[in-house]
Chains A and B, each alone.
Chain A
């Protein structure tokens, strides 16, 4: 039976892993290639790189990071951040990424979802949605870009449905209200999106520990869980997350496979 994925995410800035809340006060936290290898060896079911480099030139360092990671890391690799067009998609896939996540560019140019999924297949198009609570929208959530700083005036549920219709194969759903709080994922938001789209939904933003992962799967129906900081800081291991999940009846992949 299909296991529930635990995804480790690394924020990459100018080719280095960084830590910081909401992209502020970034601290160098090492070599993303080595960390991806380590996560993979420790049982991460997928690795996700989020490139937060500010300039296009610096972003080129990412191709090198991806190709080095893909040479020795044989689990799926998702890369996002600053993807603007089909050429960016192609460059990332050619470097060794398996999936590409798009966020702001999809908001400003929705056609990119359709074009990229037609060109490369919907299995590699991940629509990343950064949602904030906003009662004036029908679903209660608004889509934001730029780490939650820019509002888009788009309803999150409507956007998710539209993205899937246009060919997104997966949704990476981040609650910007929960992100960085370590108080748990946003269950209401995750359940809402998860129950209303046909593709897998990855829960993101707010993981403070293994119990949060269990909760978002059991109560909100998440297909996969993503976390960054709890793994970076060594607060919790992938193993401890999977152990808690299996103790609660959620099937996971053995860490040593």
Chain B
């Protein structure tokens, strides 16, 4: 199987590549992993991963700079049903739009838009809510039967770092939430595409478990 991690100049590609390679290696899976922005390689791939760190508008701009990439992604994922994983801003881009800095449209594959996380009130220890929501948080699983959640329980922790959260999502497109002052969609998806607000590549063994499930998943 050919897996492509899409390179549009966004930060932590190396971490994503390392984590996927480690998962493939330890579980003896038959995948080749390549980081690229070449459209021909993307169209020949079996699975696609879109990582993204930084701001929503910057990531969108980065994608737009590679001529034809967004159209190709939509064709591969929506029409050709290629398996897809969006990570952090890569996940946010799957929705309709974000209000980060300015209103910027996403791919529109999933319902909803991104709004700043609320910081009113105090947490369980009386501390102010800080933005970004940064650190390890657990999941509230909605769709227990989804194969990408195999062996993953609500006790497992994932590493989050983001300031905007999905709003107006369709309930049946939310696979798991996390809680930080509000319910935040942590895993969203439909058919052959899934997005995660957290960073599986930075989430230790729990992250490796998630990556393994996603790699094995046959939509």
- Footprint of B on A, CB under 8 Å? 1-5, 40, 45, 67, 70-72, 74-76, 93-96, 98, 120-124, 169-170, 194-195, 198-201, 217-218, 221, 223-224, 249-251, 253-254, 256-257
Residues of B within 8 A of A251 (CB): 124
Residues of A within 8 A of B11 (CB): 93, 120-121, 124
CA distance in complex: A71, B49 (Å): 18
B14 and A199 within 8 A (CB): no
CB proximity of B96 to chain A, nearest CB, Å: 22
CA distance in complex: A199, B22 (Å): 32
Smallest CB gap from B207: residue in A:
A74
B32 within 8 A of A: no
B201 and A253 within 8 A (CB): no
B202 within 8 A of A: yes
CA distance in complex: A214, B126 (Å): 14
Residues 189-219 of chain B: 1 if any A CB is under 8 Å from the residue's CB, otherwise 0? Answer: 0000000000101111111100000000000
CB proximity of A44 to chain B, nearest CB, Å: 10
* Given A169-B161, A199-B131; 5 other pairs, CB 8 A cutoff: A1-B123, A74-B203, A121-B11, A170-B134, A198-B131
- Selected A-B contacts with CB under 8 Å, 8 pairs: A1-B124, A74-B204, A74-B207, A93-B12, A122-B132, A123-B134, A198-B128, A200-B130
CA distance in complex: A199, B119 (Å): 11
CA distance in complex: A221, B54 (Å): 27
Residues of A within 8 A of B205 (CB): 74, 256-257
**Interface residue count for B (Cβ, 8 Å)?**
45
| Known contacts A74-B22, A221-B126; is-contact A1 B180 (Cβ 8 Å) | yes
B157 within 8 A of A: yes
CA distance in complex: A66, B167 (Å): 37
At the interface with chain A, which of B37-45, B64-72, B74-82, B135-143?
B135-143
Residues of B within 8 A of A74 (CB): 15, 18-19, 22, 201-205, 207-208
CA distance in complex: A96, B19 (Å): 11
Residue from B130, B137, B159 in contact with A1 in the complex, judged by beta carbons closer than 8 Å: B137
CA distance in complex: A95, B15 (Å): 9
Smallest CB gap from B206: residue in A:
A257
Residues of A within 8 A of B12 (CB): 93, 98
CA distance in complex: A217, B135 (Å): 15
CA distance in complex: A256, B126 (Å): 28
B53 within 8 A of A: yes
Smallest CB gap from A67: residue in B:
B14
CA distance in complex: A214, B134 (Å): 19
- Footprint of A on B, CB under 8 Å? 11-12, 14-15, 18-19, 22, 53-55, 58, 119, 123-128, 130-138, 155-157, 159-162, 179-180, 199, 201-208
Residues of B within 8 A of A120 (CB): 11, 53-54
Smallest CB gap from B133: residue in A:
A2
Smallest CB gap from B122: residue in A:
A221
Residues of B within 8 A of A3 (CB): 135-137, 157
| Known contacts A3-B137, A74-B22, A200-B134; is-contact A121 B202 (Cβ 8 Å) | no
CA distance in complex: A136, B15 (Å): 45
CB proximity of B60 to chain A, nearest CB, Å: 13
A70 and B15 within 8 A (CB): yes
Residue from B14, B54, B131, B157 in contact with A96 in the complex, judged by beta carbons closer than 8 Å: B14
Residues of B within 8 A of A257 (CB): 156-157, 204-206
Q: Residue among B125, B156, B162 with the most chain A CB within 10 A? A: B125
Residues of B within 8 A of A94 (CB): 14
CB proximity of B216 to chain A, nearest CB, Å: 18
CA distance in complex: A72, B26 (Å): 11
Residues of B within 8 A of A218 (CB): 125
| Known contacts A2-B136, A74-B202, A76-B159; is-contact A121 B54 (Cβ 8 Å) | yes
